[in-house]
Structure 1
Amino acid sequence: MDVNKILSADILDILFEGKNKEYGAYDLRRSYNKRITVALVSTAVICLLLFLGSIMANSSKKEKTEILVAEDVTLEKVEEKKPPEAPPPPPPPKQEPPKVEITKFTPPKIVKDEEVKPDEEIKEVTKLEDTKIGTINQEGAKDEGIVAPPVESKGTGVVEAPKVEEDYDKVFTVVQIPAEFPGGLAGWTKYLERNLNRDLPVENGAPPGKYTVYVSFVVDKTGAISEVKAENDPGYGTAAEAVRVIKKGPAWKAAVQNGRNVIYRHKQGITFQVSED
């Protein structure tokens, strides 16, 4: 190769001067940069397509709402503090009958006057008319022949408190048999599945999770529902929907206390579960 051509020739032309350029090595080295560029661009395009496909797949997932739990909640029983019982009155003091004058009976005995003791002296008959005769001498009231009445036993002195009749017209929060939806828990769950708008939380933008609403209402003696209100509000329209479904529903079975239907305030929980497909 001429000197002038060497200065302007490519390094591959210099290396393959006088060699068989059709063999393949020359073409491989000549197209090396082009093949590397194509490979890098192709790899970048494939990665970009995979990334875009992943984003589109995530965005295409739809959220759905399920009714997870339909539970009854029993209001806690509040124990009323009873006032301390008053101590029983002390027993009445024992009354002793009044003392009556008693004169000792002295059998007659013949002795000398100086040997007679004062307590053995025989009383005159006139002095024995208003006194009792006994074995001792005792001072007291004159015996007027009145027999004292017997002492009446007062017992223990404890008076039982009168029994208080329960008011069956008040609103009970704790009863022996709580109010119940017709058909029990199975009937209640079936009613919710048919009437509850389970897609409402998703339509209002609720993220995946559980949303439990506690609704309290009064069930009267006939089972009619009134005073329905939500005790809490998880949001996304769940509280209003739970209240609507209970108001729309049929009458319940009335609560029972001591064999009687009573007015009962019931608390019911409804849980919405938002999950991804």
Structure 2
Amino acid sequence: MDINKIMSADVLDIIFDGRYKEYGAYDLRKTYNKRITYALLGTLALCLLLFVGSILANSFKKESKNQIIVQDVSLEDMKKEEKKPEIPPPPPPPKQDPPKVEITKFTPPKIVKDEEVKEPPPEQEKLADTKIGTINQEGTKDEGIVAPVVESKGTGVVEAPKVEEDYDKVFTTVQIESEFPGGAAAWAKYLSRNLNADVPSSNGAPPGKYTVMVSFIVDKEGNISDVAADTDPGYGTKDEAIKVIKKGPKWTPAVQNGRKVTSRKRQAITFQVSEE
């Protein structure tokens, strides 16, 4: 390269002076800056296109019409305890009349003439084994008969023995029901947010309502266990309902006679599939 051109020549031209520039290395280095610019502009345009496409897809996305219906969050008892028949009180003892005792009427002594005597006094021998009274009465001889004791009349009701409550059993009826943290409204909100309303339609369910009746146990510490479906309309609804109830938080346990007890609960969950 001429000395006069060295000062104004590009560094790349100086390096490749006298070499074979058509091989490709020279051209790659010569167009490097231009290719980097094109690559950055292309990447930026692609990212911008993806971003705009995502926004448009979300704006035109059709919302699902399927719903979850929690029937007024009514936790029904699994079954009602049968009412035991009351034991009738024993009949009162039959009334017994005291035995009649022979009584001889006492006649006060009075001095009169024999023809004026209307009722002669009883003989002394007869008075030895009979009672003296104001009337004459036939009966048994007075041989130390003791009259029966008169018992006070009661109500005729015998109090049944008190039965001790078994607080370790699973109660189906309690005085204070177990409760989800935050109450019934929070329970309905939890189910609506966590249940996937599209489960039945994704499994080919036709339009309609699909109700799952789920029973579960809340123990004395508020833990959930024994979650099972009493009804299964199919299309994955049973498994979805059981899964969501199992993963829920602890409950406030039920109370019976002031003590925390284990109770069984029941919940109806309805999946509603709408027509497209």
TM-score range, shorter chain: 0.5 to 0.7
Kept in 1: contact 2:179–2:253 (CA 8 A):
yes
Give the TM-score normalised by structure 1: 0.62
Distance 2:242 2:102 in 1: 88
SS of residue matched to 1:174: coil
Kept in 2: contact 1:221–1:262 (CA 8 A):
yes
Kept in 1: contact 2:101–2:131 (CA 8 A):
no
Distance 2:133 2:205 in 1: 107
The 1:178/1:136 distance shift into structure 2, 3 A limit, reads: closer
What is the Cα deviation at residue 150 of structure 1? 6.6
What is the match of residue 99 of structure 1? 101
What is the match of residue 197 of structure 1? 196
Kept in 2: contact 1:217–1:265 (CA 8 A):
yes
1:152 aligns with 2:150: yes
What is the Cα deviation at residue 232 of structure 1? 1.7
1:74 aligns with 2:72: no
Residue ranges of structure 2 left out of the alignment (5+ in a row): 1-59
Kept in 2: contact 1:64–1:276 (CA 8 A):
no
Give the TM-score normalised by structure 2: 0.62
Distance 1:134 1:203 in 2: 105
Task: Tell me which structure has the larger Cα radius of gyration.
Answer: 1
Kept in 1: contact 2:100–2:138 (CA 8 A):
no
Distance 1:190 1:123 in 2: 103
Distance 2:185 2:108 in 1: 102
Residue ranges of structure 1 left out of the alignment (5+ in a row): 1-59
Residue correspondence of structure 1 range 1-277 to structure 2 within 5 A: 64=64, 66-70=66-70, 71-75=73-77, 78=80, 80-83=82-85, 85-86=87-88, 88-96=90-98, 98-112=100-114, 116=117, 120-123=119-122, 125=124, 128-143=127-142, 148=146, 151-156=149-154, 157-275=156-274
The 1:241/1:99 distance shift into structure 2, 3 A limit, reads: same
Query: What percent of counterpart residues are identical?
Result: 60
What is the Cα deviation at residue 191 of structure 1? 2.8
CA deviation string 1:117-154 (max 9, x = no partner) = 5xx2344556544444433344445556x584673224
Root-mean-square deviation over aligned CA pairs:
3.4
